[in-house]
Chain A
C-alpha cells in the first residue's frame, strides 16, 4: 500500500473505533484513536503476518501490553482480515470473542492477555527469547502505553531485555502524555524518558506517531540494530482526529455518546490530508 492508502486505512479504522465504542457503551477513546496510525503501519506494512494462517510458527508476534486500547487492536485485526468487521459490534458484550480487555486466543490475531498494566513487555520478551533459543527469525513487537511505565514490572522487563541484548524485540510506546487521572507528568513524571531507556541498554528512536512513513522507517531501523532491544517512542495526540477529544485526558477512559460520535465521525471524514499537512 502507498502511504496515502495507509493514511486512508488509518482513518477507516478510526471511524470503526468510534462506531464500535458507541455500540459498546463503554471503553477507552483517546488511546485507540491516537494509535490508529501505528497499528495501521504495523499490520498493513511492517509485520510479517498472514490472517489466513494466524498461528504460523514463524509469524511476527504482536503483543498489546496496554490492553485498554484494544478497540484499535480489534478494529485493525478486523480490517486486516483476521475476523469479520461486523464482529466489532460485539465488543464488551456477553459471549463475545472481543473482551473489554484482550483475552489471548479468544479470536485470531489476539496473541496475549492484557489489561492489568505492565505485563505485556514481559510476555513479549518471553516470545523473543523463545525465538532466540529456537533460532527462529520472527520478530516480536510490544505495544505499550506511557502510563504503564508507572508499574515496577515494566522496569524489571526493560532491565531484563537490556541485559539479554534482545535484538529481535521492538517496543513501541504510545507517548500521548495522558493517563486516567491526568497528564503523565503530573501523575508520575516519566521524563527524561528517552534517556531512561538508553541507560538500560536500549536503542531508542523518537518519532511522530501520526507520520506513517516515519513509523515504517523506525521499525526498519529497529530491525537493523541486532545487538540491542529497540524502543520507538511514538509521540501521539490522544484522541487524534476528533477535535474535542484531542489532548483532553478526560477522554482516556470513556466512549463518545451517540451525538458526540456523530460529530466525531464527521471530523474524521475531513481528517484526510490533515495529518500530512501537519508534518509538511
Chain B
C-alpha cells in the first residue's frame, strides 16, 4: 500500500492524536442510529469506555450493570440469544479478565452474538499501575473457540472495528488503549477482519504490529531505512482468525519477522504469529511485548521504554532477527 492511503501528517511532529476508545464511542453512535438491535452494557465505566453518549441518546438500549462483570457477560448472552447485538463494555482486566468463565460458557460455547470491548489495555494505561494494565487479554480470549479477536491501531480503525463487530456473526472481542495515540489511518484505508494490511513495503524484515504500537513500528522502519535496512510494516489487527496466508507470504518475501504489541509476549500477537509461521513458513522471529512480568505505575512513554516496547527496542529486535537469518 502507498502511504497515500494513510494519514498524510503521519510523520509530522504535530500528527493528530486520539484514543482508540473514542473510535469505539463513535462507532457505537453510528450503530445506534442504523441498527435497532444494538444494545450497550457497561459495568460502572460508561464515561471512560466512551459509551456514555450512546446511553444518553438511546437510554432504552443502554444497560448499566453496576460493578458486576460476570452478570454483565451473562445478561449479554441472554440478550444475544433473544436477537440483540450486545456490546459489553468495561476495562479488559475486568471483562474478559473477571468474566472469562462466562465468556467461555455463556458466550463462546453458546455461540451467542456478543461483542466484548476491552478498554484500558496495554502498559500505556500508565499511572493506574499493574492491576489495571491489561496485558493478558488477547491470550485468554484467543484460546477460546468461536470468537474473533481484533486489535485496532488507532481511533479510525477502532471505529471501523466497532462497525465490523456488529456485522460479524458470533462472539467478537476487541481492545482499546487509554491514551491518545497518533492517527495512522483514514476512512479510505482498507480494513477487513482477518486480513493483514501492509502499511510500508520492505524486503529485509517484516515488522508485524497490532494496536497503537503500529505507529512505533512505522517510525522504526523509517529510521532503519536511513541505516540501509528495508523493513516492511504490517498492521496485523486481527489476531483471530490469523491471516496465515498473508503472514506466510511476508515471511517468505522478507525472511525475518519482528512482532510488536502491548501485551505479554506469551500468547498474544507474537504467540499467534509464531504459531502460524512455524507451520506455514518458519523464519527467525523476535517478539516485542511485555517480557513475562507485571507492569507498574508511570508515564506511558516511560513504561514503553522501560519494558522494551519503544522505537529503539523495535530497531534492536530487527537487527537481532536479521542476524539470525540463514545466509544462503
Q: Is B232 an interface residue (CB 8 A)?
A: no
| The residue from B71, B79, B102, B105 contacting A160, defined by CB atoms under 8 A apart | B71
The reply on A40 being an interface residue by CB < 8 A is: no
Name the contact of A130 in the complex, choosing from B66, B83, B102 (C-beta under 8 A).
B83
Q: How far is the CB of B116 from chain A (nearest CB, A)?
A: 14
> Please, which residues of chain B bring their CB within 8 A of the CB of A133?
39, 60-61, 84
Known contacts A133-B60, A133-B84, A119 near B105 by CB under 8 Å: yes
Q: In whole angstroms, how far apart are the Cα atoms of A121 and B109 in the complex?
A: 17
Cα(A111)–Cα(B71), bound, Å:
18
Asked whether, in the complex, the Cβ of B84 is within 8 Å of the Cβ of A104, the reply is no
A126 to B88, CA, bound (A): 12
> Is B74 in contact with A125, judged by CB distance below 8 angstroms?
yes
* Inter-chain contact A159/B77, CB cutoff 8 Å: no
Report the minimum CB–CB distance from B48 to chain A (whole Å).
21
Are the C-beta atoms of A126 and B81 separated by less than 8 Å? yes
Determine the chain B residues whose CB is within 8 A of the CB of A105 once the complex forms. 110-111
Instruction: Tell me if A131 is interfacial: C-beta within 8 Å of chain B.
Output: yes
Kindly provide the distance from the CB of A262 to the nearest chain B CB, expressed in whole angstroms: 36
Q: Is B163 an interface residue (CB 8 A)?
A: no
B245 to chain A, nearest CB (A): 32
Chain A residues within an 8 Å CB radius of B66: 156, 159-160, 163
Q: Output the least CB separation between A101 and chain B (Å).
A: 9
A126 lies within 8 A of B70 (CB)? no
Q: Are A157 and B84 in contact (CB under 8 A)?
A: no
Q: Which residues of B contact A125 (CB under 8 A)?
A: 71, 74-75, 78
Main DSSP-derived SS at the B contact region: helix
Would you call A108 an interface residue if the criterion is a C-beta within 8 Å of the partner chain's C-beta atoms? Answer: no
Complex CA gap A163/B289 in Å reads 42
Q: Counting CB contacts under 8 A, is A123 at the interface?
A: yes
- A11 at the B interface (CB under 8 A): no
Q: What is the minimal beta-carbon distance from B178 to any residue of chain A, in angstroms?
A: 26
Chain B residue contacts of A121, Cβ below 8 A: 74
Q: Across the interface, which residues of A come within 8 angstroms of B110, CB to CB?
A: 103-105, 112-113
B65: CB under 8 A from chain A? yes
Q: In chain A, what residue has the closest Cβ to B76? A: A126
What string of 1s and 0s marks CB contacts (under 8 Å) between A108-124 and chain B? 00011111101111111
Closest beta carbon of chain A to B220's beta carbon, Å = 44
Once the chains bind, are B78 and A127 in contact (CB under 8 Å)? yes
**Distance, CA A196 to CA B282, complexed state (A):** 60
- Contact check, B101 vs A122: say whether CB atoms are below 8 A apart: no
Bound-complex Cα distance A114 to B110 (A): 9
Could you say which residues of chain B place their CB within 8 Å of the CB of A103?
109-110
- For A121, give the chain B residue with the smallest CB separation: B74
Q: Is the CB of A113 within 8 A of B109?
A: yes
Asked, given contacts A127-B82, A133-B61, whether A160 binds B77 with beta carbons under 8 Å apart, the answer is no
Q: Which residues of B contact A123 (CB under 8 A)?
A: 74-75, 77-78, 81, 106
Mark out the residues of chain B between 41 and 82 whose CB falls within 8 Å of any chain A CB in the assembled complex.
Answer: 60-61, 63, 65-66, 68, 70-71, 73-82
Q: Judge whether A130 and B82 touch: CB under 8 Å.
A: yes
Q: Which of A122-145 contact B (CB under 8 A)?
A: 122-131, 133-134
> In A89-110, which residues have CB < 8 Å from any B CB?
103-105
Contact A122 B84, beta carbon cutoff 8 Å:
no
Measured CA separation A120–B77 after assembly (Å): 10
Q: Are B68 and A126 in contact (CB under 8 A)?
A: no
| CA distance in complex: A123, B102 (Å) | 10
Answer yes or no: A152 CB below 8 A from chain B CBs.
yes
Cβ of A153 under 8 Å from chain B? yes
A126–B109 contact, CB under 8 A? no
Given known A123-B106, A133-B39, A133-B60, contact A112–B75 (CB-CB < 8 A): no
**Contact between A129 and B65, CB atoms less than 8 A apart:** no
Contact of B106 among A122, A130, A160 (CB under 8 A): A122
- Cβ-closest chain A residue relative to B99: A153
Known A111-B81, A126-B75; judge A152-B70 contact (CB<8 A). yes
Contacts A121-B74, A156-B68, A160-B68 given; 15 further ones with Cβ under 8 A? A103-B110, A112-B77, A112-B81, A119-B101, A119-B102, A122-B71, A123-B77, A126-B74, A126-B82, A127-B82, A153-B70, A156-B66, A156-B70, A159-B71, A160-B71
Can you name 9 A-B pairs with beta carbons within 8 Å? A63-B78, A105-B111, A115-B105, A122-B73, A126-B79, A126-B80, A153-B74, A156-B66, A156-B71
